[in-house]
Chain A
Amino acid sequence: MPVVEANDLRRVYKTHTGTIRRRVKEIEAVRGVSFAIEKGELFGLLGPNGAGKTTTIKMLITLLIPTAGSANVLGYDVVKDPREVRKRIGYVFGGERGVYERLSGYDNLRYFAELYGVPPKTQKQRIDELLDLVGLKGREHERTEGYSRGMKQRLHVARGLLHDPEVVFLDEPTIGLDPVGARELRATIGTLTQAGKTILLTTHYMFEADALCDRIAVISQGQIVAEGTPEQLKSRVASGAVTEVEVYGIPDETVERLRTLEGVMSVWVEEREQAQVLSVQTRADVQLTAAILGHLNGSNVGRVSHREPTLEDAYVALVKDE
């Protein structure tokens, strides 16, 4: 039985605009997301900003009620049994806010240890262990308003683990951290799975997902566009080659026409300073450079190059294909 299960989750946000004539705008942030995470898995939710990762995770940790669909964690429904879910999960959100600035790191942990129901006898020991784990020992009695962003992040991690939860949700935990801190945090996350915990990690760093996760779901504009192990995702692109052409303005119809060419797997365009880069991924057995350049006859063309595809290509193709 999966530890975390999401079934066609949907979430619509309503925003009000205008002061005199109030209009309601509806934004569908999550449009039918489903996945299942098994015990002990480190599952990654990979996608660009605004894809719906944070919204999805907030629904799973009971902070948001889905507009449609359902989800359950360890068998408990996130809407009907929020309390049971909360007892068994920990979550780590990044950012500067979310801690009590006028309290020390230690006091913050003491307070939340009590709220999470950590038995009083074990609180002190547990807090000490966690401070060691996240590397805040020695700074725990300073007020958090003086903490750097990285330190606050580490405090969030410690807080998420206070009650030794079976499932841990991490929302972009390494964002804003310096490279050393980020690497240490990734190592810590790795040790959590070794301890038997199930982890859901959201990130927009593709290499992070590749390095840490057992399985990845790629989410874009509220929908899952691909799912599989990192190897499976890579194999979607392992074949063929990528032709990159520097262009200065390319009409959309040209892009569409290129997509329909025989042997073309995917086409995407990236902005790079003064120009754009048109990338066409083709099957290994076809040579399409001439055909591609032919279609570009109307536009200005710069350098043309060929290279091996990478996982990043797969990711970019998936999220830009809309």
Chain B
Amino acid sequence: MRVLRLLAIGWKFHFKMIMRSAFDGVGQVIYPLFFATVAFFVFRAGDSPRTLLYASLGAAVMGMWSATSTTAGSAMQRERWQGTLEALVATPANFALILLPVTIAMATIGIYSLVATLLWGRLLFGIQLTVVHPVMFVLSIPATVLTFGALGFLFAVCFVRFRAAWALGNMFEYPVWLICGFLVPLTFFPGWVRPISWILAPTWGMNAIRESSLGGSPLPDLLMCFALGTAYIALGFLVMDRLLRAARERAALSLT
């Protein structure tokens, strides 16, 4: 199907470009490791039933979310800076289908963060990764990447009017880490926070990965990932048309 091809090719080339800026990538992976280290120390020193592996998985997904939140919001800005935004809009392809693989490519980098965090935990704190449902575990990683990419797509679409879109994207780093239950069970939060956590896909991605590793039922979590991802994409598509038209009216597609 032409749509799938378009998405795949877009992903391939944007991933290639991200991989070629090695320095940014290293920074992306290292920064979340500081937070992971704090988490390891705190859980080791604390006295709670939650294990270090719990902390390791949570920190790993924190890194995955960082890869998306800090970059996705300014995806369109970046294209404008390179002068390629106009070139993309001028093609007959649906712009939303052009932008979606960009944010998914960004989210894919999160896999490096995941691996780095788990390795870090293993090397420095002796945390062993045990996986109860291996097939589910392997599936939940790309599922999480895809929903993160879909949410990043929504960010990119909504933040395009702000010159400092990066600041807005960064603003969503901590809150998602907090309320999506990466290191804190949702029961710790007041009741009104729970629905907000539920409509955020990272909650379900985290659950899927955690339950495939520690035990539980990851399948409903995976389905929620899929459902929410689809909802984000649909919302993004709806906003996109209006947005592009406004950009063409305001001559905002190029820098000059």
Contacts and interface: CB of A to CB of B under 8 A. Distances in A.
Q: In the complex, are there CB atoms of A and B closer than 8 Å?
A: yes
Interface of A: 13-14, 61-65, 83, 86-87, 91, 93, 95, 97-103, 107, 110-112, 114-117, 120, 159
B90 A120 contact: no
Contact of A111 (B10, B20, B89, B245): B10
B89 A114 contact: no
Contact of B87 (A83, A98, A117): A98
14 contacts: A13-B251, A63-B253, A64-B251, A65-B249, A86-B90, A86-B91, A95-B83, A98-B84, A99-B84, A107-B16, A114-B6, A115-B6, A115-B98, A120-B5
A117 B90 contact: no
B187 interface: no
B91 A103 contact: no
Given A100-B13, A111-B13, A112-B87, A83 B82 contact: no
Contact of A114 (B9, B17, B248, B250): B9
Contacts of A63: 86, 89-90, 248, 253-254
B5 to A, nearest CB: 7
Nearest to A120: B5
Contacts of B251: 13, 64
Contacts of A13: 251
B83 A115 contact: no
A84 to B, nearest CB: 8
Nearest to A119: B2
A83 B20 CA distance: 33
Top-10 shortest CB links A-B: A97-B83, A115-B91, A98-B83, A86-B92, A87-B92, A102-B17, A102-B20, A114-B9, A115-B93, A65-B248
Given A103-B16, A107-B16, A110-B9, A117 B92 contact: yes
Contact of B13 (A62, A95, A107): A107
A114 B9 CA distance: 8
A39 to B, nearest CB: 21
A43 B20 CA distance: 42
Contacts of B253: 63-64
Place the interface of chain B in its size category: 20 to 34
A96 to B, nearest CB: 8
Nearest to B87: A98
Interface in B225-256: 245, 248-251, 253-254
Nearest to A14: B250
A64 B248 contact: yes
B88 interface: yes
A262 B83 CA distance: 52
B48 interface: no
A107 B250 CA distance: 31
Nearest to B245: A65
A254 to B, nearest CB: 38
A62 B254 CA distance: 13
B88 to A, nearest CB: 7
Given A62-B248, A63-B248, 11 more contacts: A62-B90, A63-B89, A63-B253, A63-B254, A86-B92, A97-B82, A98-B83, A102-B16, A115-B88, A115-B93, A117-B2
Contacts of B21: 102
Nearest to B97: A115
A103 B249 contact: no
Interface in B87-133: 87-93, 98
Nearest to A113: B9
B87 to A, nearest CB: 5
B5 A114 contact: yes
A102 B245 CA distance: 29
A159 B93 CA distance: 15
B92 A103 contact: no
Interface string B6-46: 10011001001100110000000000000000000000000
Interface in B29-86: 82-84, 86
B65 to A, nearest CB: 25
A117 B93 CA distance: 8
